[in-house]
Structure 1
Amino acid sequence: MRRLLWLGAVAGPVAVVAAFWFRYDLPPQYRTQQVFRPECVIGVTYPTVGAFLLSRRPGLVVGRLVWTIGLFAAGYWLSIPVSRWAVVHELPGAVLLRWAAKWAYIPEFLPLIMLVPLLFPDGRVPSRRWRPVLVLAVLLVVVNTVFLMLLPGEFGFGPYRHSNPFGVDAVAGFDGFYGRVIEPLTVGTTFLAISSLAVRFKAGDEIARRQIAWIAYPLLGTAVVGYSDLLWPDIPFWAFTTLTCTAVGTVPVALAVAVLRDRLYGIDVIVNRTLVYATLTVILGLVYFGLIAAVQHFVMSPAAGFAGALAVGALFQPVRKRVQRSVDSLLGLERDPYRLADRLSRTVQRTESPTEALRLGVKTARRALALTGAAVEIDGRILHSDGVLGDNPRAIPLVWHGEPIGRLLIEARGRSDHRLLGVLTRHVADLAHTVRLLRVSQENLISTREEERRRLGRDLHDGLGPTLASLALTVDAARIRLRSDPTSVEPSLVALRERMTSAMAEIRDLVHGLRPPALDAQGLTGAVQTLAADLPRPHVTVEADPIDLPSPIEVAAYRIVQEALTNITRHAQATSAAIRMTLTDTHLELVVSDDGRGLPKAPSSGLGLISMRERTSELGGTFTLASRPGHGTVLTARLPIG
């Protein structure tokens, strides 16, 4: 397959050169006046670029299209002088060659401006809604080609005139329909296909946008110049040829750069400036000529041009700022520090975790500032990066309340706005500090869990293990004395029973420290009701349906209720209390309220409150405590169940 690709890459230029040889081998009066056409450029460059793309990216649909279009163009350019040469020398099949030279430009021109934009860059249309446009484009290529193939009429040069050997008289009756319907539909479908690039541009990431920007300009120019004979019938041939050759010559270069390069040479700057100044030119041009027309119509003053110039000069700067702001918004750029801060804040608020917030914050800031790459480094390790960082990126310290917590690494194409970088650095520092705290918290949690496991193992080994070994020795001693002195065994068995009771109590304490047995026996609702019923005072009511939750949520909720009831019993002096547990799709809401004396004006956080807060925060929940002196206390814990 690769040999075939490069054979086509060689065949295209050879066919173009051969076409010049056949042209100059004809008598001067039979040579075409067209010494050079766009097909020369397409036939030389497109097969080579197509083969190069397919050698790097096998299966690339756009590469196959470009390779095929180039061969069709080379074949068409060769068919013109070869057919004339064959007619002059009266070779067999000369008429068929002349017939082919009449329509062979359609299969190379229309796919270039209709199929390539629809299928760039991944070989698929932007969405399902564009599939009918693709089908219509293919049908129009076929219809235009078949119409010219079957249209009856004469073609030739000088004394050599021939009728279409495959002409169908019925097709001639559709000539008016073709001019009124098919041609406008072809033009409209072409620009609709090119507009699909705008859809991809809006939905794509930064790399995709730059790829589309590279290819959109040449394709749009090719379409406009290619249809210039319809839009401007009197265009000079030299102007048509020059413009078309320039447009089609830039397509393969832009295509190769867009497909094979990721950095894309700062095309976003070109797009930005083009949109800004093109829009500015249109607006100010309308203002200028509109004022001139209005002044001359109503005042008939020779100062109309001067008035228009003054108006344009006064409007230039404010209009440019507004247009620049609109284009920046379209391209995702930001130049105002307050807007950048607002965009970062809104982006962070939509995330579910600090780590995700930091990642999206870096991505949003890089796109807003048009940076090539950005990354956050904490404790010497890069946590999140977006874009491409060079070998020597610029490092900006991240400082939170005077404490250095990391660095922001950026790669910019030019000079960066210090105001925007300052806003970016402050927001990223806040996010990085939160992520760092989260990492420290997770590490502490893991460390605490491992320490608890070691403590449990130590308690089992040093406490329960020796106790069980001692019990075994006592049993053995009693069994030995049972035959020789049975009366002395009973005191040993009584002591053994007491020690077994103590061992069971020790086991119960260990088990209760891991998971309350009441949860396994009664579930969370039943265990809470048992806790409430065991209190001598105050009277406690429980509102909850049977709830099935993950084990960590159940244990945390049970311990929080247990600690809350302990505090009410000891400190609240309440006559009644209420426990309400409500389960939603996202969280368990636990509310414990009483009618006691409430909290003092300056309450101190005891071990009970600290324990409840820690249990809630470990699960990512929220804990609040509300109280008014003499009106009781309301404790609310929201535990996520995701």
Structure 2
Amino acid sequence: MARRTVLWVGALAGPLCIVLAYAFRYSVPLEYRTSQSWRPEVIMGCLYPAVGAYLLSRRPGLVVARLLWTIGLVAAAHWLLIPFSRWSLLHDLPGAAFLRWGATWLYMLEFLPLVMIVPLLFPDGRPPGRAWKPVLWLSAALIAVNVLHRMLLPGDLGLPGREAHNPFGVAAVGDLDAAYLNVVQPLTVAVTFLNFLSLGLRFRAGGPVARRQIALIAYPLLGTALAGYSDLIWEDMPFWLFATLTCTAVGTVPVALAIAILRHRLYDIDVIVNRTLVYGTLTLILGAVYFGLIALVNNLVAGQAAGFFGALTVGALFQPVRSRVQLSIDLLFGVERDPYVLADRLARTVQQTEDPATALRLAVRAVRRTLALSGVGVEIDDVVVHTDGAEEGVAQVVPLVWHGEQIGRMLLYGPGHPDHRLVGVLTRHVADLAHTVRLLRVSHETVINTREDERRRLSRDLHDGLGPTLAALALSVDAARVRLTTDPESVEPSLLALRERMTTAMGDIRELVHGLRPPALDRLGLADAVRALAADLPEPRVDVRCADLPRLASVQEVTAYRIIQEALTNARRHAKATSVELRLAERDGQLEITVSDDGRGLPRQPRQGLGLTGLHERAAELGGTFTIASRPGGGTVLTARLPLT
């Protein structure tokens, strides 16, 4: 609570200092007033503390907000010191020279941290990397050197008729003034713009939100730096241009900073940056061509032909030069506008993934980056399966169509209207991946439902069959125990009947166990288990031909065994076959199962019964295929192929 009170007291103190400054300004005679009735400190003192306090109340501990709050108070104090020190000197107040001294260097503590420290620490309060920490310390050292030079520089601080000298002036500092102007000042300017390079690196490596944050703050900060160093860059800059540039830049900094940090209405700044670089570069190139041609033609031919020839040349070069510059800037920002190149790049990215879900996730990310959107989502059957980025605002809906069937939607979040050609090309690839993911999800649901059905069947068999049997056996044992003392001779027949019933119960348990996984697979392996299964059939005669099989997974063994078991049952019950040929072999990375019989064959209008449907489902669960057809000369051929991978 105390911290928040301090923040908002500072926010109110800034505007109060500005008001007092104007009161002191107009309380001194006209000849003692400063020529400037307005400076950037007026805006900084009013806005910066208030915005800094607001940001700190929303995001406590935010380094950039603390800097903004402090810089605003320093600016307000400096603007107050300028007229107050003059008023104090005119009224011969004690310490007036110290106030005049403070007004000569305090402005550096508002300007230099704003253009040197804030770009280096935005937005997270840390430099971009370890390599930038020395730059941060160098920036702090240069700020200290500039402030100390101004504090210790000897000179007259008085007014007409009022003498005052720097109370801390050192003659040696005055002797080093040339070195300061030739070394420290250029180094300060160079390090300032080096810190802006860190913003460019953050922009290049950042995501869509980080890019918008950086672009929002980079323009006003760069304008503030250019205005502050205007006397070094352009000595005779007109005052109206200086005032306009300074007012716009300094006033925009806190607003842009608040929007960037709070991420409120982050518009598509990437497009603005791209267009700024494109048309700025285009202006420089065509301007150089235009004025170069004018100078060349004037040296060769006198008259008015130079301007006409230059304008004609620039008009002819505009479109090809703009295309080349746009392509170069797009390459710099990683933007691709050719739909065919995008399709090839997306296909290569997808091919490097291991599963369709990962491929769809990468494709969604590629779509967001390519179209410069804040977020992209994919819905399949009204269920959002993948999202990338931030879901801001109202989504633009693009249907995902696969072979004429709408299987889902792609949701595009962000400002602007993406290129329809790019959206169309990318949507087709995303639709293919969404269809694959949809098939996998349906297959997975089928497997889960089948497993649950099997569990329910097992539970029902245990509850309705084995449970009552065991309960009846327990009652029979109790009855035999009671008769053992009263009628011993009748116990033996009861025990024999109990033994038969127990044998039947053991058979039921064995059938349940076999329904889960045939024990023969664990004891013998697939090949020998199939031979044992064929040998147990009294008819028909089964000829088993099994080549050397690779090591199979448990689910593959069970599926193959169940398919063979059902096929042999069909041959015996329905086909009335006398002989069956069973083949197991590996072909093209698949386990091929062929069951051929000499039975009645398929009817003219075959019906898909439960047995054949189960065979289809078992093969499909592993991604395999199942076919059944009549054999030439009579009989049936059943073929199942199961992938080994």
Counterpart Cα distance in 2 of 1:440 and 1:538: 36
1:456 Cα offset (Å):
0.5
Q: Deviations over 1:583-638 (max 9, x none)?
A: xxxxxx998799xx9xxxxxxx9899857744534xxxx999xxxxxxxx998845
CA distance in 1 between partners of 2:532 and 2:297 (Å): 95
User: What residue in structure 1 maps to residue 622 of structure 2?
Assistant: 616
Q: Residue 156 of structure 1: SS of its match in structure 2?
A: coil
Residue 219 of structure 2 aligns with an amino acid whose one-letter code is: Y
Note the 1:325-404 alignment, pairs <5 A. 325-328=327-330, 330-331=332-333, 335-349=337-351, 353-371=355-373, 374-385=376-387, 387-388=390-391, 390=393, 393-404=395-406
CA distance in 2, matches of 1:164, 1:444: 88
**What amino acid is aligned across from residue 87 of structure 2 in structure 1?**
W
Match of 2:32 among 4, 7, 30: 30
Q: Is the 8 A contact 1:43 1:70 kept in 2?
A: yes
Pick closer, same or farther for the CA change 1:308–1:539 going to 2, 3 Å: same
- Report deviation, 1:108: 0.5
**Using the alignment, how far apart are the partners of 1:382 and 1:563 within structure 2?**
37
Identity over the aligned pairs, expressed in percent?
59
Q: Secondary structure at 1:155's aligned position in 2?
A: coil
Indicate the residue corresponding to 1:559 in structure 2: 558
Q: Which residue of 2 aligns with 1:549?
A: none
Structure 2 residue 183 is the aligned partner of structure 1 residue 184: no
CA offset at residue 77 of structure 1? Answer: 1.7
**Deviations 1:240-260, CA, capped at 9 Å, x for gaps:** 344323321221222223233
Cα distance in 2 for partners of 1:301, 1:557 equals 92
Contact 2:189 2:229 in 1 (8 A): yes
Alignment-derived partner of residue 461 in structure 1: 463
Stretch moving more, 482-491 or 243-252: 482-491
- Report Cα offsets for 1:11-48 as digits up to 9, x if no partner: 22222232233233323333222332222222222222
Q: Is the 8 A contact 1:26 1:85 kept in 2?
A: yes
Contact between 2:267 and 2:415, CA under 8 Å: does it hold in 1?
A: no
**Distance in 1 of aligned mates of 2:312 and 2:260:** 43
Render the CA deviation track for 1:502-541: whole Å, top value 9, x for unaligned.
433432332243346688x88xxx9679869989976876
C-alpha deviation, 1:401, in angstroms: 2.2
Match of 1:52 among 54, 60, 64: 54
- Specify the SS of the correspondent of 2:157: strand
CA deviation profile, 1:205-248 (whole Å, cap 9, x unmatched):
22221221111111111112211212223435554344323321
| Structure 2 partner of 1:79 | 81
Deviation per residue, 1:340-395 (Å, 9 max, x gap): 4345444544555544544554444344334566544444444445544546x554
Tell me what 1:452 maps to.
Answer: 454
Deviation at residue 178 of structure 1 after TM alignment: 2.9
Which of 66, 69, 93 lines up with 2:68 in the alignment? 66
Q: Which amino acid is 1:245 matched to?
A: C
Structure 2, unmatched stretches of 5+, are 536-543, 568-578, 597-610, 627-638
Alpha carbons 1:556, 1:615 under 8 Å: kept: no
Alpha-carbon spacing, 1:534–1:184, altered in 2? closer, same or farther (3 Å): farther
Counterpart secondary structure, 1:233: coil
**Secondary structure of 1:405's aligned partner:** strand
Contact 2:268–2:416 (CA<8 Å) still a contact in 1? no
- The residue matched to 1:25 in structure 2 has which SS? coil
| Cα contact 1:623–1:637 (8 A) shared by 2 | no
Contact 1:51 1:67 in 2 (8 A): yes
Paired positions, count:
596
The alignment partner of 1:504 has SS state of helix
Q: What TM-score do the two structures reach when normalised by structure 2?
A: 0.78
Cα offset, 1:278, TM superposition: 0.8
Aligned-residue Cα RMSD (Å) equals: 4.3
Between the aligned partners of 2:205 and 2:548, the Cα distance in structure 1 is 56
Unaligned runs of 5+ in 1: 545-552, 580-588, 598-604, 625-632
In structure 1, the residue corresponding to 2:407 is in which secondary structure?
A: strand
Give, as a single letter, the amino acid of the residue that structure 1 aligns with 2:192. Answer: T
Q: 1:377 to 1:27 in 2, by over 3 A?
A: same
Matched, 1:438 2:440: yes
Residue identity matched to 1:50: G
Q: Secondary structure at the match of 2:26?
A: helix
Please identify, of 189-198 and 132-141, the stretch whose mean Cα deviation from structure 2 is larger: 132-141
| Aligned positions of 1:139-150 closer than 5 A | 139-150=141-152
- Does the 8 Å CA contact 1:155/1:161 hold for their aligned counterparts? yes
CA distance in 2, matches of 1:498, 1:295: 120
Of 119, 136, 143, the match for 1:134: 136
1:240 aligned partner: 242
In structure 1, what residue type is equivalent to 2:622? T
Of residues 100-109 and 47-56 in structure 1, the stretch that sits farther from structure 2 once superposed is 47-56
| Residues 61/498 of structure 1: CA separation in 2 closer, same or farther (3 Å cut) | same
SS of the aligned residue for 1:35 comes to: coil
Contact map agreement 2:120 2:128 (CA 8 A) in 1:
yes
CA distance 1:301–1:355, shift in 2 (3 Å): farther
CA contact (8 A) 1:516 1:555 kept: no
Which residue does the alignment assign to 2:407? 405
